[in-house]
Amino acid sequence: MMRTLAIKTALCAGLALLGLSGCKSTGPQYYYGEYNTAVYSYFKADKLTLEEQISILQKVVEQAAAKGKPVAPGVHAHLGMLYFETGNTAQGNQHFIQEKTLFPESARYIDFLMNQGKDA
């Protein structure tokens, strides 16, 4: 009887440990940094200049690389749009291509944006 109780106790403890080990939470898949701030500033257009917004997003890209995390979807696309607005089409195209490379599902939209930039 004692032996059966010990086995049941050990089995319950093992199952409890196994169950708790599955509860480990993971962080976000992508690194966002101050991306939300930059997007908000872009649409409000009253607090940060385009150059300041570019600086914020460049830091997001650098911090993501430093942390070994992929940059969030849309960061390179947003950087591309900002560069186009400042007249730097080469940098804009570079970031659009980077967005398409990292997130192939965005290719149609990025192609649309790139074509808009050529028409401007």
pLDDT in tens, 60-111: 999 999 999 999 999 999 999 999 999 999 999 999 999 999 999 999 999 9
DSSP 62-104: HHHHHHT-PBPTTHHHHHHHHHHHTT-HHHHHHHHHHHHHH-G
**What is the token pair recorded at 27?**
């962080």
CA distance 120 to 118: 6
- Which one-letter amino acid corresponds to residue 21? S
pLDDT in tens, 15-56: 555 455 555 567 777 878 887 777 777 777 667 888 999 999
pTM of the predicted model, to two decimals?
0.71
CB 81 within 8 A of CB 41: no
